[in-house]
Amino acid sequence: MASVVALVSASLLTSITTDNTLAQSKTNATKAELRAEVARRLRREPIIQKVSFDPSDNARLILKVRNSEIEQLEVDVTNLSERMRGLSAKQREARMQRFVRQILKLAASSSPG
């Protein structure tokens, strides 16, 4: 009987692990999509010289700011992703715009003059 219970427990654990892996994959996909959208918006800005994706983290961008005193600026969209859950499309857009504005403000403060 103990082996049957262990087998059921192992099966349940596998099921839970699979569900968590799927949920994590969905979260990662969402972060990657959000990162791509932030990158698209930042690439249109004259102060941003280059936007690249961190290959080791699908929530992170690496920015090169034009005429900046800093070598690179790293941006992580994890908190943005979490804060946008459950918001309406209009609220999500407003949150996205505010996030991008804050990045540009930080980039501008790193440039001399």
Q: What does the pLDDT look like over 89-102, one tens digit per residue? A: 899 999 999 999 99
Q: What is the SS3 assignment for 51?
A: strand
- Which helix (H) or strand (E) segment holds residue 109: the answer is helix 89-109
pLDDT score, position 10 = 35
Give CA–CA dist 78/66, Å, rounded: 25
What is the pLDDT averaged over residues 46-56?
A: 95
What is the pLDDT averaged over residues 55-70?
A: 90
User: For the segment 2-50, what is each residue's pLDDT rounded down to a tens digit?
Assistant: 333 333 333 333 333 334 444 444 455 588 899 999 999 999 999 999 9
74: phi then psi, degrees, rounded to nearest 5? -100, 135
Tell me, yes or no, if the pTM score tops 0.75.
no
